[in-house]
Amino acid sequence: EDVSAKFVSQKISRARWRPPPATALQPPDIFATGSWDNEDNRISLWSTGDLGNVGLNGEYHGEPHLLCDIQHNGDVMDMQFLDQERIVVASSTGTVTIFRHHQNNQTLSANHRWEKAHHHVDQDTSCGGAACTGVVCNNPEIVTVGEDGRINLFRADQKDAVRTIDNADSSTLHAVTFLRTTEILTVNSIGQLKIWDLRQQRNEPSQIFSLAGDRVPLHCVDRHPNQQHIVATGGQDGMLSIWDIRHGTMPVSLLNAHEAEVWEVHFHPSNPDHLFTCSEDGSLWHWDASTNVSEKPSFLHQGGRSTTYLSHSTINQSVVSAWLSNDPTKDRMEITNLIPNQTLSVNSLDVLGSCLVYGTDAEAIYVNRQLFA
């Protein structure tokens, strides 16, 4: 009832809200999607619809409509807004492109392209590109990682890479995020999380963390927006891991989550006691670790390891994150699957304010504008 769907006849690999202007009070209204596994992949910009379509109780009736789109060479592997007008896109061909949205005439154009930023063997041979698997932006800086184990640091206004760490990893790097302005965090296909200090000229990570034992590939990572030592990762086995990078080299908690790969994990940017994961198994989960959960009726979450509930300790929550205060698996954590009838893989999600957007292999995009209703 709160979710509007749009069938787009292409499999959607990424969906991202456009960042709001600093002064904006209204909910986000424009998002971008990228597609994969289609003859003709596209980057598309959507408006969430006519705000005149709001019902008496504030519920929303419109469906997303296309503002503009542009062809993209290769599968869209990842995508981030650099600012309000520019989107950085990672391709399975290894190329990284900045697209610009021209708001006056609603068109998209390729603004800058780093050809084969990721590649196997030698750039000049015909071996060609290696997929660029992840991109993260902190305008004007852009960091990309790829199947070739390479890390690139670009600046939006410079033609060549500012820095390249060629053999950063011997396995595929699947995702990257900023820890601070000078530090990044990568996850790889053998279950490791690595911190890189971009001020250091050394091409080694400053710290390495790993999942004990199994070397399960990690597909996605996100950092807590206010407490930068708290990190969440999602793995090929469907597990959600929470890490405290100040202590130890292993995750502080492992949560049984999905039945297949976790493709994306996101802390809510302004309400980080809420976290969202989406999976190949066709589900999208909302994890609520906020303190008021203890007043809610307890229920057992599917696949959960623990059936004993403790209410949160009375420790000062502003200092200790809900994600670390106790072992969340034993705690009263409420988990809701936001997609009741699971179908094909949910490849991507993004959350801003009370709005959630997600894209699936069922060739549809979905917008939920009342997350916390």
* pLDDT-above-90 percentage for the chain: 66
Q: In the beta sheet, which residues pair with residue 86?
A: 100
Model confidence at 185: pLDDT above 90: yes
Once rounded to an integer, what is the mean pLDDT over residues 64-84? Answer: 96
Average pLDDT over residues 339-346: 84
> Which two three-digit tokens encode residue 116?
């084969």
- The confidence band for 370, taking pLDDT boundaries of 50, 70 and 90, is confident
- Cα separation, 302 vs 305, whole angstroms: 9
pLDDT exceeds cutoff 50 at 313: no
User: Which domains are delineated in the chain?
Assistant: 3-290+319-368 (2.130.10.10)
Give the separation between CA 142 and CA 151, rounded to whole angstroms: 10
Identify whether the C-beta of residue 269 lies closer than 8 Å to the C-beta of residue 352: yes
Instruction: Tell me which of 104-108, 153-157, 206-210, 299-303 is least confident.
Output: 299-303
Smallest CA-to-CA distance from 205 within 154, 239, 245 is with 245
Six token digits for residue 70: 């542009």
Give the closest residue to 265 by CA, choosing from 339, 346, 324, 193. 346
How far is it, in rounded angstroms, from Cα 150 to Cα 168?
A: 5
Can you give the pLDDT at residue 318? 39
pLDDT in the model for residue 342: 72
Average the pLDDT over 216-237 and give the result. 95
- Rounded Cα distance, 260 and 54, in Å: 37
pLDDT digits 0-9 by tens, 285-307: 999 988 654 444 444 343 333 32
* Whole-number pLDDT of residue 212: 78
Average pLDDT of the chain is 86
